[in-house]
């Protein structure tokens, strides 16, 4: 039977529950256990894909096309295992399932209630993911004390009753603030948050106490006394300079020992050398590189979480200090602004996005990168922009656009291809999840991947319009990757340029610290080689 670890948060949000859960996942995986992870989000949205990146950050996409919370990105990056739609559920989805059952008459006229119907549904989602795994880590979104997360907490309380204490472990992440005026670390918020959790019937087994400054035995004893958690199970998760250090911090604090002891599992040796190398590379770079990320969500960098992570992985691989310059494409249209914002960067990345806002800036930025031989990497919308710019300024098709921005434009080089079987297959309007792509052998894409067929994740509605293939190829833009049936354009490049590539998919979702994505890796390498400063 699988062992279940539940990670709950207290005191305040943004303590890094996703990173803590992922770090624990990595340690368990490194001990040889088969790990799976899952997140419950307490909000009522049924489709996280429709939530604004301004408010909710990036939508992370899995191979099976689920649009999920960005914490799943951390899970995949840390444990290195692709997850699927079963790893993320919202309250909205859970209620939706229950209400559909109710409408179908499945409850046979019974009163439908939070307990047991909602809690049963939650428990069934936990059991479902446990199949064939040794360790299931379930993160409960939100903070103890929120009304929204109560059904989840009630469900996991019951879950322990169902599976027994030896198969379930509650880890509670809290905060121990340092109060400058008093010159002290304060344990009261942790005490109160734990009391709140115990009020609803959950006694934490392990406390993970985040703090800015490290603390020792005295504070641990105090927390232990007030929270009823053994002192050896009060663990200090002290702030780290890179998130990839957290697993090591937790390992040094022996969290894996406590977990194995609780579950009566064998504690196997952890080889941390690969991650040690990554941390060393991040913390002791030889040189630097500056990359401009140009988009409209730059003030809300959570919207580009995986892009940021993939850049870090790639820079670490080359022992480079990464400077990211977040460039607002809505304010970078005029030549003087472009010069001001981009003249000192070594590489330009235009990430994905939706809607017309900031588009003219992105087109101007792609033009600048193309004309000035600056390494360019366009992702999804970024690739579409590069194609539009090339068609307008090199092919002379002045009124070229995407029909997303101008419905009836004369040359919709990026357009809806609603007659294509791919979209029909998905049943929706977006192309979502993993699709194969075949690379042309003599291309930059092939040189980067060193493979003829690859698989990458998608999340977009619009496609390259095949009517324009000939004209752009004739003018020097190469289509170097397509779907196996050659119907969909997946990669474009400009062979004349030192490094100019655009991809219709989102490679950032598959980058891992120990395995940087090849396009990011080569893009950063080229940018560093061509560094001006």
Residues annotated as part of the active site: 380, 506, 508
**Rounded distance between C-alpha atoms, residue 8 and residue 144, angstroms:** 7
Going by their DSSP bridges, the two strands 184-185 and 489-493 should be labelled as: unpaired
Query: In this complex, which beta carbon is closest to ligand GLN, that of residue 305 or of residue 460?
Result: 460
Among positions 135-194, residues that touch ligand GLN (CB under 6 A) are: none
* Residue 234 bridge partners (DSSP): 207
Going by their DSSP bridges, the two strands 287-295 and 320-328 should be labelled as: parallel
Q: Is 352 in the site for ligand GLN (CB under 6 A)?
A: yes
| C-alpha distances in Å from residue 163, one per residue of 166, 266, 294 | 8, 20, 49
Q: Is 391 in the site for ligand GLN (CB under 6 A)?
A: no
Query: In this complex, which beta carbon is closest to ligand GLN, that of residue 290 or of residue 384?
Result: 384
Q: Is 404 in the site for ligand GLN (CB under 6 A)?
A: yes
Up-side HSE of residue 493: CA atoms within 13 Å toward CB? 23
The only residue of 353, 361, 481, 507 in contact with ligand GLN, by rule CB under 6 A: 353
Residue appearing with tokens 């249209």: 333
Q: Report in angstroms how near the CB of residue 180 gets to ligand GLN at its nearest.
A: 43
Which region holds residue 324: left if phi is over 0, alpha if psi is between -120 and 50, else beta? beta
Q: Report in angstroms how near the CB of residue 387 gets to ligand GLN at its nearest.
A: 12
Query: What is residue 302's DSSP assignment?
Result: G
C-beta separation of 237 from 140 below 8 A: no
Q: Report in angstroms how near the CB of residue 526 gets to ligand GLN at its nearest.
A: 23
Residue of this chain nearest to ligand GLN (CB atom): 352
Alpha-carbon 264 to chain mean position? 33
Q: Is 255 in the site for ligand GLN (CB under 6 A)?
A: no
Q: Which two tokens stand for residue 440?
A: 């042309």
Q: Report in angstroms how near the CB of residue 433 gets to ligand GLN at its nearest.
A: 13
Can you list the alpha helix ranges (DSSP code H) found in 14-90?
Answer: 17-30, 53-56, 71-79
The only residue of 95, 354, 405, 422 in contact with ligand GLN, by rule CB under 6 A: 354
Among positions 108-127, residues that touch ligand GLN (CB under 6 A) are: none
Query: In this complex, which beta carbon is closest to ligand GLN, that of residue 107 or of residue 405?
Result: 405
Query: In this complex, which beta carbon is closest to ligand GLN, that of residue 136 or of residue 359?
Result: 359
Nearest to 422 by CA among 321, 355, 358, 490: 490
**Rounded distance between C-alpha atoms, residue 139 and residue 6, angstroms:** 6
Among positions 258-287, residues that touch ligand GLN (CB under 6 A) are: none
Query: In this complex, which beta carbon is closest to ligand GLN, that of residue 67 or of residue 71?
Result: 67
Q: Report in angstroms how near the CB of residue 429 gets to ligand GLN at its nearest.
A: 9
| C-alpha distances in Å from residue 292, one per residue of 311, 493, 506 | 11, 19, 18
Q: Which residues contact 143 (CB under 8 A, 6 or more apart)?
A: 9, 10, 11, 12, 13, 149
Can you list the alpha helix ranges (DSSP code H) found in 81-141?
Answer: 91-104, 119-130
Q: How many residues bind ligand GLN (CB under 6 A)?
A: 10
Q: Report in angstroms how near the CB of residue 430 gets to ligand GLN at its nearest.
A: 7
The answer to whether the peptide bond before residue 116 is cis (omega within 30 degrees of 0) is: yes
Residue appearing with tokens 């809806």: 416
Instruction: Give the three-state DSSP class for 294.
Output: strand
Q: Report in angstroms how near the CB of residue 462 gets to ligand GLN at its nearest.
A: 3
Query: In this complex, which beta carbon is closest to ligand GLN, that of residue 247 or of residue 352?
Result: 352
Q: Report in angstroms how near the CB of residue 124 gets to ligand GLN at its nearest.
A: 32
Q: Which residues contact 206 (CB under 8 A, 6 or more apart)?
A: 169, 170, 171, 172, 229, 233, 234, 235, 255, 258, 259, 262
Q: Which stretch binds ligand GLN (CB under 6 A): 148-156, 188-196, 254-262, 350-358?
A: 350-358
Task: Mark 438-477 with x for binding to ligand GLN (rule: CB under 6 A) and - for no binding.
Answer: ---------------------xxxx---------------
C-beta separation of 176 from 237 below 8 A: no
Q: Which stretch binds ligand GLN (CB under 6 A): 174-182, 262-270, 314-322, 348-356?
A: 348-356
Q: Report in angstroms how near the CB of residue 460 gets to ligand GLN at its nearest.
A: 3
The only residue of 126, 202, 381, 492 in contact with ligand GLN, by rule CB under 6 A: 381
Residue appearing with tokens 């936990």: 126
Query: In this complex, which beta carbon is closest to ligand GLN, that of residue 137 or of residue 380?
Result: 380
Query: In this complex, which beta carbon is closest to ligand GLN, that of residue 263 or of residue 509?
Result: 509
Query: In this complex, which beta carbon is closest to ligand GLN, that of residue 204 or of residue 295?
Result: 295
The only residue of 380, 387, 471, 489 in contact with ligand GLN, by rule CB under 6 A: 380
Alpha-carbon 231 to chain mean position? 34
Q: Which stretch binds ligand GLN (CB under 6 A): 25-33, 48-56, 347-355, 473-481?
A: 347-355
Q: Is 73 in the site for ligand GLN (CB under 6 A)?
A: no
**Rounded distance between C-alpha atoms, residue 202 and residue 195, angstroms:** 9
Residues at the interface with ligand GLN (CB under 6 A): 352-354, 380-381, 404, 459-462
């Amino acid at each position: 039977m699988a062992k279940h670890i539940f990670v709950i948060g207290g005191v305040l949000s943004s303590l890094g529950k996703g990173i803590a859960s992922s770090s624990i996942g990595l340690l368990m995986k490194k001990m040889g256990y088969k790990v799976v992870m899952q997140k419950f989000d307490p909000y009522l949205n049924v489709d996280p894909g429709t939530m604004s990146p301004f408010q909710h950050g990036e939508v992370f996409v899995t191979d099976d096309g689920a649009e999920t919370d960005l914490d799943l990105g951390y899970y995949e990056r840390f444990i290195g295992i692709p997850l699927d739609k079963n790893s993320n559920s919202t309250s909205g989805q859970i209620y939706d399932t229950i209400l559909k059952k109710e409408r179908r008459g499945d409850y046979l006229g019974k009163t439908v209630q939070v307990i047991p119907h909602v809690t049963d549904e939650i428990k069934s989602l936990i059991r479902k993911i446990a199949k064939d795994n040794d360790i299931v880590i379930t993160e409960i979104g939100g903070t103890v004390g929120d009304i929204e997360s109560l059904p989840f907490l009630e469900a996991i309380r019951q879950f322990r009753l169902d599976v027994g204490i030896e198969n379930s472990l509650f880890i509670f992440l809290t905060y121990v603030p340092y109060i400058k005026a008093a010159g002290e670390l304060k344990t009261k918020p942790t005490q109160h948050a734990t009391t709140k959790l115990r009020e609803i019937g959950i006694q934490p087994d392990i406390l993970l106490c985040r703090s800015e400054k490290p603390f020792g035995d005295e504070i641990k004893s105090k927390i232990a006394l007030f929270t009823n958690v053994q002192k050896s199970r009060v663990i200090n998760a002290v702030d780290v300079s890179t998130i990839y250090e957290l697993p090591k911090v937790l390992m040094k604090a022996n969290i894996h020992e406590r977990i194995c002891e609780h579950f009566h599992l064998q504690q196997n040796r952890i080889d941390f050398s690969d991650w040690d190398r990554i941390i060393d590379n991040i913390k002791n770079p030889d040189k630097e590189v500056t990359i401009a990320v140009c988009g409209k969500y730059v003030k809300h960098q959570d919207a580009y979480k995986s892009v940021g992570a993939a850049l870090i992985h790639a820079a670490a691989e080359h022992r480079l200090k990464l400077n990211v310059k977040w460039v607002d494409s809505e304010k970078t249209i005029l030549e003087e602004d472009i010069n001001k914002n981009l003249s000192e960067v070594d590489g330009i990345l235009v990430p994905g996005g939706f809607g017309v806002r900031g588009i003219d800036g992105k087109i101007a930025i792609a033009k600048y990168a193309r004309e000035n031989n600056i390494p360019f990497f366009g992702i999804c919308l970024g690739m579409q922009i590069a194609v539009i710019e090339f068609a307008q300024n090199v092919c002379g098709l002045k009124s070229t656009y995407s029909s997303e921005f101008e419905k009836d434009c004369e040359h919709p080089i990026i357009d809806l291809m609603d007659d294509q079987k791919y979209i029909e297959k998905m049943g929706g309007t977006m192309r979502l999840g993993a699709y194969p792509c075949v690379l042309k052998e003599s291309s930059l894409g092939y040189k980067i991947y060193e493979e003829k067929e690859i698989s990458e994740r998608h999340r977009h509605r619009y496609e390259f319009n095949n009517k324009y293939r000939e004209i752009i190829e004739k003018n020097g833009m190469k289509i170097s990757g397509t779907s196996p049936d050659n119907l969909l354009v997946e990669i474009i490049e400009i062979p004349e340029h030192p490094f100019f590539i655009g991809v219709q998919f989102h490679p950032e979702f598959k980058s891992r610290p120990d395995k940087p994505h090849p396009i990011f890796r080569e893009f950063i390498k080229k940018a560093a080689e061509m560094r001006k400063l």
